[in-house]
Structure 1
Amino acid sequence: MIWLTWRQFRAQTLAAGGALALLALYLIHLGNQIDAFADTRVAGCAGEACRVALMELRRGYSDTVAVIGLALMAAPALIGIFWGAPLVARELEERTDRLVWNQSVTRTRWLVAKLTVIGLSSALVTGVFSLLLTWAVSRYDAAVGDRFAAMNFAARNIVPIGYGLFAFVLGTVAGMVARRTLPAMAVTLVAFTALQLLVPSVVRQHLMPPVTETIALDASVMNSGVGLGLQDDNTIHLHGYHVPGGWALQDASQVFKADGSPYTGDDARRCIAAADGVEATIACTVAQHLHFQHTYQPGNRYWAFQWIELSLYTALSLLLAAFGFAWLRRRV
């Protein structure tokens, strides 16, 4: 049965292999370009030269990295649409199931072989694509990237393996239920896209309990590119703060004085009126011993998040597969 599955699936396998080979050649070229730029302009830089080099690195490669990342995020959806959705739906649509599932091989064994061979191929395709991209842009990510950013997280390392496997199983089960290829493709695309939007915006940040710290508003914080904003209730909120390598879970944090009372616009205006220039204003603000609370996910949890999300998508794939077997035996 595995040999038969390979015979039926070899055209798609060879096409995917050829696309990966071409992609590998391009990503090797891109990775060498980024490495050369980082070695000559970024490594060992300091001060203004470093700032200019990072700006040029971002300007020169950000669009390319984003486009390839989007292609990787789209790959699982395409696998679910073109590999998963027609797998059973085409048999039902063309009535070939009456021949295929009345031979010596049972429908359960038929589905086991299909899900195993093609499912592993799906995971392999997205996994190899992800590892190639991760290697090619590693120096770019280290210099200007944010590993927890939604698109970066979904297009690096091991998580795309789970996306590819889940999308394929989702498409297969959608084909069983819909019994028509085109509706199954549409359902697969909508369901997978919805989940890819839901997980990073709602679920991912709760996979591990966040850390909340009370941080002093000192000179290092004030000079790190943050901003103080006046709210409608006359309180001051800090914007743009993040722990290096961490994932900030809030856009702004309310600022408090040393006694715990809110820092207000009136307090800030006294500093602005008394000080002469930006540096003096910062010094006046720091002298008030202000603090704020920051909620975030530490950077050292990155790989834990990768493994948890991979496990989550693998578990969803297994649950969908179990539902598919039950549906196949009772309804089809």
Structure 2
Amino acid sequence: MTTLTHDPAHSAPAGRARDSHGPRQTGPRLGGTCWLVWRQHRAAYWTLIALTLLGVAAMVWLRAQMMDQLNAVDSSAKTSDGLPPDFAKHPNRLFDFGSYLGYVPLLAGVFLGAPLLAGDLESGTAKLVTSQSVSRLRWLGTKLAMTAGLIAVSTAVLGAVFTWWWSPLRGRADSLEWTSSVFFDGTGAMPVAYALLTFTVGAAVGMVLRRTLVSMVVTLGIVGAIGVVWDRFRLDLGNVVSVSTDRVVGGLPTLPDQAVQQGMGPYFVTSSGDRLDWTTCLAQSEHAKAHAACLESHHVVGRSIDYLPVSQMHTMQWLGAGIMLAVTAALVAFLLTWGRKRLL
């Protein structure tokens, strides 16, 4: 066994007696392939850990500032959106910080996934390691498991703290709608599932292309495309609900708390149950009588609005996370199959 796979915890030369009175190392110690993977990627791992701790510290500090002001005004009058007039900076900070967290899946795919295998394949390290007593499958599985585990823990912690920060403001500002990608993708199970998906995409690209820089660029494009597709279809995971009123003109139907309107409504509802676009009779809207006559000619009897209730948020998140994790599992199966047969 070469020094690449040698366990430093057992590197004392034969014949040298261990000093039973000397300091003893406590806590978990890595050995074998795990030690090798940690040593090889320790710069990236420590960077991820440091950024996670820094992000958590920043969110805790910003939330403490927000709660101090929120508690100070809780007994006073609020503005119509549920927040004091000088409180706008805190929702803005929350939204901006959540937007930065939205780049975590991209970073996981480009800077952790793509170079993970491509770097070893390009430099020849993979051939050197697997020519020793370490099998291809063990080397590949250890690299994927250690990196994915660290990504999962980091994103879970960031998502939990971000949710804790957001909780006091839910439903108190229109700019913090739960359907926004900042909050939908940044809370619950979504941060972990999204980051693991992009990480495995990067790893698969790196294994196939075998060039670090090329793999990073290609991964960047693929992850960007995934983000575009996900933003387009993620709200389709919910079941749209409608609320109606029998008032043709005047007030609109009242939506439940934290519900988010969908579609191009409000719609006009006819006596037959059909729905007409809001532009119906728009040309006559400047004249009340002409507008009423136009609506009557279309047999309009009320208005309706489509919306997504906040009660569906967790179900939609778990469904989306399940889809992402299923794709991730398929990519891992591909990585292990390809790596066992065609790695070198």
Q: TM-score range by the shorter chain?
A: 0.7 to 0.9
What is the root-mean-square deviation in Å for CA atoms of aligned residues? Answer: 3.1
Give, in angstroms, the shift of residue 157 of structure 1: 2.6
Q: Equivalent residue for 2:316?
A: 305
Instruction: Give 3-state SS (helix, strand or coil) of 1:157's partner.
Output: coil
Change (3 A) 1:306 1:265: closer
Q: Of the candidates 302, 313, 336, which is equivalent to residue 325 of structure 1?
A: 336
Question: Which runs of no fewer than 5 residues in structure 1 stay unpaired?
Answer: 225-240, 275-284
Task: State TM-score, norm by structure 1.
Answer: 0.79
Q: Equivalent residue for 2:88?
A: 59
Change (3 A) 1:272 1:136: farther
**In 2, Cα distance between equivalents of 1:216 and 1:84:** 52
**In 2, Cα distance between equivalents of 1:32 and 1:311:** 33
Change (3 A) 1:40 1:77: same
Q: Equivalent residue for 1:162?
A: 193
Q: Of the candidates 143, 157, 160, which is equivalent to residue 131 of structure 1?
A: 160
Instruction: Give 3-state SS (helix, strand or coil) of 1:313's partner.
Output: helix
Contact 2:114 2:206 in 1 (8 A): yes
Matched, 1:107 2:107: no
**In 1, Cα distance between equivalents of 2:212 and 2:180:** 35
Contact 2:115 2:206 in 1 (8 A): yes
Give CA deviations for 1:135-194 in whole Å, capped at 9, x if unaligned.
123222341121112222112232101111112111111101111001111111111121
Change (3 A) 1:146 1:45: farther
Matched, 1:245 2:255: no
Matched, 1:264 2:281: yes
Q: Of the candidates 199, 202, 218, which is equivalent to residue 171 of structure 1?
A: 202
Moved more, 251-260 or 214-223: 214-223
Instruction: Give 3-state SS (helix, strand or coil) of 1:98's partner.
Output: helix
Matched, 1:14 2:46: yes
**In 2, Cα distance between equivalents of 1:105 and 1:249:** 55
Q: Of the candidates 71, 95, 114, which is equivalent to residue 39 of structure 1?
A: 71
Q: Equivalent residue for 2:267?
A: 254
Instruction: Give 3-state SS (helix, strand or coil) of 1:255's partner.
Output: strand
Instruction: Give 3-state SS (helix, strand or coil) of 1:137's partner.
Output: helix
Report % sequence identity.
26
Higher radius of gyration, 1 or 2:
2
Alignment of 1:83-122 (within 5 A): 83-122=112-151
Change (3 A) 1:9 1:57: farther
**In 1, Cα distance between equivalents of 2:323 and 2:257:** 27
Change (3 A) 1:266 1:181: closer
Instruction: Give 3-state SS (helix, strand or coil) of 1:51's partner.
Output: coil
Q: Of the candidates 230, 234, 246, which is equivalent to residue 199 of structure 1?
A: 230
Residue identity in the other structure for 1:300: S
- Larger helix proportion of the pair: 1
Change (3 A) 1:55 1:250: farther
Give, in angstroms, the shift of residue 316 of structure 1: 1.0
Q: Equivalent residue for 1:149?
A: 180
Change (3 A) 1:76 1:54: same
Contact 2:82 2:172 in 1 (8 A): no
Residue identity in the other structure for 1:125: S
Change (3 A) 1:143 1:221: farther
Task: State TM-score, norm by structure 2.
Answer: 0.77
Give, in angstroms, the shift of residue 273 of structure 1: 8.7
Change (3 A) 1:52 1:303: closer
Q: Of the candidates 300, 307, 319, which is equivalent to residue 296 of structure 1?
A: 307
Q: Equivalent residue for 1:74?
A: 103
Instruction: Give 3-state SS (helix, strand or coil) of 1:222's partner.
Output: coil
Question: Which runs of no fewer than 5 residues in structure 2 stay unpaired?
Answer: 1-32
Contact 1:37 1:57 in 2 (8 A): no
Change (3 A) 1:215 1:19: same
Residue identity in the other structure for 1:11: A
Give CA deviations for 1:187-223 in whole Å, capped at 9, x if unaligned.
1111112112211212x23324x23435005599827
Q: Equivalent residue for 2:8?
A: none
**In 2, Cα distance between equivalents of 1:69 and 1:109:** 37
Q: Of the candidates 44, 58, 61, which is equivalent to residue 26 of structure 1?
A: 58
Instruction: Give 3-state SS (helix, strand or coil) of 1:252's partner.
Output: strand
